[in-house]
């Protein structure tokens, strides 16, 4: 083996040894966490000095991992992050990379409309989780309140909710794409998709523990930059985006391509990931229950929702360098509507 080859191998080993090892929780197997898959498969974590292990665990596992120190970050929905943060001021949300999933309320073949769900059983993973809140939003469109239906917690992710619908344990449940595509083909009723309603907010956020950031102030910046590069790769390279997703969630490629095309069309991944004020207001106006409503109303979310990192990266020209000068108009527009 030549001297140059040996020196190259030593350099590679040294670089790998210097990477900071961290764990990130991903709470769902949906497009919500696609940028994490892309950052992992595309080498963007490594580019910013990180050796990342992605660990799956549905809510509330992600919160428990953050609080217990088993995870550095999780990509949580805003409503779950706000509810958890209002109970535990040790958490902080620093950016919002994702607008909303393709999430449909699927029902048994005998259910013709959302109104027909009055008195029926609806499956959720946990009361107050994202599927619960999205269902509440769709029920409200038909004049129904949460108390008008029976909630059935199944304790698992989308696959568990799908199984509950197939078995007849519930009459309806929220399912993400591409899972609900198969249900439509089998004749189950699609009663509505949250992507069809601009006034139903369902963004995700980068959620950290404050003490983790205090111990490693550069870490959120490293992760936000890695995910921004992943999002750029999503828009620039469809073939790689599909490959990265399928490496982590074995689905039919045609189904994932259908999801990709929709996300690309509506720009579901935020190039400039400000947390929008309207989304925070929506969560406050649509609590899971009266107790949660009281808890959220009395809390000052400026303590746990922070757009200052995005502000700084904008000022430093990071997004402009990454996406090009046309991003400046988007930066200005997003900043004006961001939570302060």
> Nearest-CA neighbor of 160 among 120, 130, 126, 119?
126
| DSSP H helical ranges for the chain | 3-17, 34-41, 44-47, 61-68, 78-87, 130-141, 158-167, 179-185, 210-215, 219-236, 238-248, 253-266, 277-285, 290-297, 308-315, 318-323, 327-336
Sign of the C-alpha dihedral computed for residues 176, 88, 211 and 277 taken in this order: positive
Rounded mean pLDDT, 240-263 = 96
Count the residues in the chain: 340
DSSP category for residue 153:
E
pTM of model > 0.75: yes
Pair 306, 92: CB distance under 8 Å: yes
Residue 54: is its pLDDT beyond 90?
A: yes
Rounded mean pLDDT, 87-97 = 95
> Nearest-CA neighbor of 133 among 187, 65, 59, 66?
59
pLDDT tens column, 154-171: 987 888 999 999 999 999
pLDDT tens column, 261-276: 999 999 999 999 999 9
Rounded mean pLDDT, 182-189 = 96
pLDDT tens column, 111-125: 999 999 999 999 998
Given pLDDT bands bounded at 50, 70 and 90, which one contains residue 8? very low
pLDDT for residue 5: 52
């Amino acid at each position: 083996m030549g001297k140059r080859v040996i020196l190259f191998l030593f350099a590679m080993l040294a670089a790998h040894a210097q990477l900071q090892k961290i764990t990130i929780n991903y709470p769902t197997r949906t497009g919500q966490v696609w940028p994490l898959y892309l950052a992992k498969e595309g080498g963007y974590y490594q580019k910013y000095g990180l050796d990342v292990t992605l660990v799956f665990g549905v809510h509330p596992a992600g919160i428990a991992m953050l609080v217990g120190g088993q995870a550095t970050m999780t990509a949580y929905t805003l409503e779950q992050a706000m509810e958890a943060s209002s109970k535990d001021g040790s958490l902080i949300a620093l950016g919002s990379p994702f607008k909303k999933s393709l999430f449909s309320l699927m029902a048994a073949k005998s259910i013709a409309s959302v109104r027909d769900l009055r008195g029926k059983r609806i499956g959720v993973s946990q009361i107050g989780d994202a599927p619960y809140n999205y269902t509440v939003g769709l029920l409200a469109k038909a004049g129904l309140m949460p108390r008008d239906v029976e909630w059935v917690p199944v304790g698992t992710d989308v696959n568990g909710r799908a199984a509950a619908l197939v078995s007849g344990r519930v009459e309806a449940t929220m399912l993400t794409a591409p899972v609900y595509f198969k249900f439509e083909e089998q004749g189950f009723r699609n009663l509505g998709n949250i992507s069809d309603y601009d006034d139903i907010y369902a963004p995700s956020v980068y959620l950290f523990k404050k003490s983790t950031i205090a111990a490693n102030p550069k870490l959120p910046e490293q992760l936000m930059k890695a995910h921004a590069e992943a999002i750029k790769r999503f828009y620039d390279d469809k073939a790689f985006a599909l490959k990265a997703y399928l490496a982590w969630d074995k689905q039919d490629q045609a189904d994932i391509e259908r999801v990709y095309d929709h996300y690309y069309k509506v720009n579901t991944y935020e190039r400039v990931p400000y947390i929008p004020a309207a989304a925070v207001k929506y969560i406050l106006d649509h609590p899971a229950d009266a107790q949660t409503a009281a808890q959220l109303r009395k809390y000052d979310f400026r303590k746990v929702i922070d757009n200052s990192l995005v502000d700084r990266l904008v000022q430093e020209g990071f997004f402009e360098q990454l996406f090009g000068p046309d991003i400046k108009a988007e930066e200005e527009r997003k900043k004006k509507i961001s939570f302060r």
